[in-house]
Amino acid sequence: MMRSKVLKALKESNERYLSGEELSQQIGVSRTSVWKHIKKLKEEGYAIESVASRGYRLIQESDILSKAELELLIQEVGFIDSVTYLKTVDSTNTYAKGHADKVDSGALIISDTQTQGRGRLGRLWVSPPATGIWMSMVLVPDIAPYEASKITQIAAASVAEALVNATGLDFTIKWPNDILLNGKKVCGILTEMSAELNSINYIVVGIGINVNMDQFPEEIASVATSLKIETGNLHRRYDIVKEILVAFEGLYESFIETKKMDEALSICKKRSAVLGKMVRVIRRNQTVEAKL
Ligand code: BTN
């Protein structure tokens, strides 16, 4: 995709000006075409300065997700072969399920906002625009249906490691699929599957991360938070998505090859929010306290 190539060249020039001529030669398209792609990238929100005598340069720090940038990203990971970027959708998981039959090995769907984001147990997942990561991965692993829940643990381990790598902060995993920062939830995972008795048609791993929102509705403010609220800083969603895909690829491929998930499990244990703590197990009308 030409637009990704223009974006890549601008990113790689590290805020140095690139002339229209340089860009057109590097990419192999006309200067008019370069100009049109730059115009589109600006419309998508990229801060690109154009100065008549010098050319174009990209100011790097903005937090933008775009098809062009996500295309660059999936070239770096082997298990995803297509990416869909949506401005808005009901739910990326629902969209993923509707398009899963066309997926060969892996697909990524990301939306800037969701109107009907779904959480576990039929809950609504608040997904405002431009501030969070609302993504689903469609996977077609050759594993038995009963092993599918392991994919959720691999995802939780990957997201926790990715968040640590991207921010330097300390995250914990609340088994099986919540990720907490300072004891409050920043990420939830919703895994869904279509399977026959003995084989999986596909698995959808939906990941929601609260990144740059400034506040939450009162009902959930005591249990949910965002990276921005906890740190006071803006975080680049793109960088976090990149770290997630890289971490997930490592753990997922080793699981598919060896059918073992020792590394993912040791991350889940190391980062466990509940191991070693007292928990209350509520079972029908009986309540038992136990140390995990
Ligand atoms: C939970 O903690 O209850 C799970 C939340 C999962 C939310 C993500 S956001 C992207 C994907 N699409 C959805 O509709 N849900 C998941």
Q: What is residue 127's predicted lDDT score, i.e. its pLDDT?
A: 96
CB of 106 closer than 6 angstroms to any ligand 1 atom: no
C-alpha span between 104 and 85 (Å, rounded): 18
Alpha carbon of 206 to ligand 1 centroid (Å): 5
DSSP state of 175: T
C-alpha span between 160 and 173 (Å, rounded): 7
Name the residue at shortest CA distance from atom 10 of ligand 1. 134
Query: What percent of the chain lies above the pLDDT cut of 90?
Result: 82
Lowest mean pLDDT among 63-67, 186-190, 201-205, 274-278: 274-278
What tokens were used for 78? 């082997």
Predicted confidence (pLDDT) per residue in 60-91, tens digit: 777 889 999 999 999 999 999 999 999 999 99
Atom of ligand 1 nearest to the CA of 114: 14
DSSP state of 173: E
CB of 125 closer than 6 angstroms to any ligand 1 atom: yes
Q: Which long-range contacts (CB under 8 A, 24 or more apart) does 120-127 make?
A: 120/177, 120/188, 120/190, 125/188, 125/190, 125/208, 126/216, 126/217, 126/220, 127/208
Average pLDDT over residues 245-260: 96
CB of 191 closer than 6 angstroms to any ligand 1 atom: no
Atom of ligand 1 nearest to the CA of 91: 14
Alpha carbon of 190 to ligand 1 centroid (Å): 5
Q: What is residue 252's predicted lDDT score, i.e. its pLDDT?
A: 97
C-alpha span between 292 and 290 (Å, rounded): 6
Average pLDDT over residues 227-256: 95
Q: Residue 167 in 3-state DSSP?
A: helix
Predicted confidence (pLDDT) per residue in 137-184, tens digit: 999 999 999 999 999 999 999 999 999 999 999 999 998 889 999 999
CA atoms within 13 A on the CB side of 286: 3
The residues, any chain, with a CB within 8 Å of residue 209's CB and separated by 6 or more, are 132, 133, 159, 163, 179, 186, 187, 227, 240
Helix (H) or strand (E) holding 63: none
> Which residue from 86, 90, 93 has its CB within 8 A of the most atoms of ligand 1, so it is best to mutate?
93
